[in-house]
Amino acid sequence: MSIKVTSSAFENGEFIPAKYTCDGANISPPLSWSGIPEGAKTLALIADDPDAPGRTFVHWVIFNLPVHEKELLEGVTPSRNISEALMGTNDFGHIGYGGPCPPSGTHRYFFKLYALNSAVHLEAGATKDQLLKAMEKHILGQGELMGKYKRKK
């Protein structure tokens, strides 16, 4: 089942405003969603950049978002968290959001939302790989929003 993920800051396939990147305030963009499948107990979000040199670079990991949540407001941080949700460690080495900061060229950033049939039994600070393993066989639906960014050096 497909979940519709949107942002009031940018359209799917369009450029992410600098405010949400390392060139701006480096805060998380507002996200909203609809179409969560029946039976979902929690949501998980992974934001990453498959165009990073050498590997996919992880920018944001959130899990155990309550299904009644329909959005993440701009500027979510580990200290300004959502309900019971926990944040994982990104590839910048810290817990929470790390905005786009491509070393060169235009990169694509995928905000992937997963509906799960159970809570994820991980601690705050878990990695994307740990979350993906914990989500195996529990995904009821997913959706994504893709934004692009190129630094203006």
Q: What structural domains does the chain harbor?
A: 4-149 (3.90.280.10)
The tens digit of pLDDT for each residue in 69-123 reads 899 999 988 766 567 789 999 999 999 999 999 999 999 999 999 999 999 999 9
Q: Mean pLDDT, to the nearest integer, of 24-29? A: 96
Q: Which two tokens stand for residue 8?
A: 């009031």
pLDDT value of residue 84? 79
pLDDT of residue 33: 98
Q: Which of 77, 113, 108 is nearest to 10 (CA)?
A: 108
Position 68, amino acid: H
Give the residue-averaged pLDDT of 31-45: 96
1: pLDDT strictly greater than 80: no
Residue 150's nearest CA partner among 22, 4, 10, 11 is 22
**Strands 42-49, 31-34: parallel, antiparallel or unpaired by DSSP?**
unpaired
C-alpha 41/C-alpha 147 separation (Å) is 27
What was the pLDDT predicted at 82? 67
The C-alpha angle with vertex 107 and arms to 35 and 120, in degrees rounded to 5, equals 40
- Cα→Cα distances 71→34, 57, 102, Å: 9, 24, 26
From residue 119, alpha-carbon distances to 55, 96, 103, 114 in Å are 28, 19, 36, 12
pLDDT value for 38: 94
Q: State the pLDDT confidence band at 34, using cuts at 50, 70 and 90.
A: very high
Q: Name the pTM for this structure.
A: 0.95
